[in-house]
Copies of this chain bind each other. A is one copy, B any other.
Amino acid sequence: MAVTAREILSGDVRAAAQLMRDLDDEIPSAIRTLKSLYRNTGRAHIIGVTGAPGVGKSTLVTRIVSVLRERGKTVGIVAIDPTSPYTGGAILGDRIRMQEHALDECVFIRSLATRGHLGGLSRSTIDIVNVMDAMGKDVILIETVGVGQDEVEIVKVAHTNLVVMVPGLGDDIQAIKAGILEIADIFVINKSDRDGADRTVREIETMIAMGDYAEGEWVPPVLSTVASTGAGIPPLYEEVKRHRAHVSQDRNMERYRREKARVELLEILKARLIEKAVADLERHGLLDPLLSEMAGKRTDPYTISEKVVDHRFEMHLLQGRPNRARARGRGRR
């Protein structure tokens, strides 16, 4: 049974879960539903929570969700787990850690495995965020490691980005800090009961102070938390609200909406293009022979890509001559 837009708009959790599964399986009716839901997106406050493994992102997210629930907000959580293409094991881990909220009807949790999809993480994340948004969730949290290229793109769909660190990772972290400065709306030093927390806070504050901020531009605050005890969470929530008010200013919101549209379009387009190209190659039995040719150095990926992009393979196929050797040129002997 195809999930309807109406079911999603009514906030039906079961329908939403079904739609997300159908989108994973690329069922056409699911994509149609998503299309018609798009106009109902743009209401939720989207928060990115980015940090290396081990900094306590999940615990922090759990705490933030508790605060939101106390205030009667409905919440969606997307946990992006880069390790899950391999084992799926981490998904369970996330679910267990989130179990405090798992039984709460108003918190919708989705752990995201890529399962080797060509389109990758970005497209799936965007789809899920849009479904949760259309469901009427007040706040959507995207939890991500945030160091891969895809992840770096994904956080651009968030209104507010928290970058989470722990004290004492040493000098090697310096480079990361510098790079991450531009995505962080709020820095969170978690596990701040550890040695070196003050130094880490000072280092980041120094870095921010060196930044070149225009009048009226947001300057990221640095907050200390101990997510495991809940220390520092209320002030963090206040900063999140303050940032939301900042983004809501007309000029900022306009810029955010265009940037979000750009990321959405490029990531979805990228996914669709490669999926279509590979499906075409496979349907015509070209992919495996081409890989063999490449492994044997009789052709190269640049030449093949050029042909696919220029539809030269397609033209050949339309002419009804499935002679692979000819299609690939004369490099055989």
Interface residues of A (CB under 8 A from B): 31, 34-35, 38-39, 41-42, 52-56, 58, 81-87, 89-90, 93-94, 114, 118, 120-122, 126, 145, 147-152, 169-170, 172-176, 178-183, 254, 257-258, 260-262, 264-266, 268-274, 276-278, 290-292, 294-295, 297, 300-306, 308-309
Q: CB-CB < 8 A to A308: which residues of B?
A: 269, 272-273
Q: How far is the CA of A277 from the CA of B308 in the complex (A)?
A: 13
Asked if A87 and B179 sit within 8 Å, CB to CB, the answer is yes
Asked if B277 and A82 sit within 8 Å, CB to CB, the answer is no
Q: CB-CB < 8 A to A38: which residues of B?
A: 297, 300-302
Q: Which 5 pairs, one residue from A and one from B, show the smallest C-beta to C-beta distance?
A: A148-B148, A83-B179, A38-B300, A90-B175, A261-B294
Q: CB-CB < 8 A to A34: which residues of B?
A: 300, 302
Q: How far is the CA of A42 from the CA of B301 in the complex (A)?
A: 14
Q: How far is the CA of A120 from the CA of B274 in the complex (A)?
A: 14
A63 to chain B, nearest CB (A): 15
From the candidates B83, B118, B262, B301, name the one contacting A264 in the complex (CB within 8 A). Answer: B301
Q: CB-CB < 8 A to A114: which residues of B?
A: 149
Q: Can you name 5 A-B pairs with beta carbons within 8 Å?
A: A31-B302, A39-B300, A54-B176, A118-B270, A261-B292
Q: CB-nearest residue of chain B relative to A150?
A: B149
Asked if A182 and B86 sit within 8 Å, CB to CB, the answer is yes
Q: How far is the CA of A269 from the CA of B170 in the complex (A)?
A: 39
Asked if A53 and B175 sit within 8 Å, CB to CB, the answer is yes
Asked if B303 and A35 sit within 8 Å, CB to CB, the answer is yes
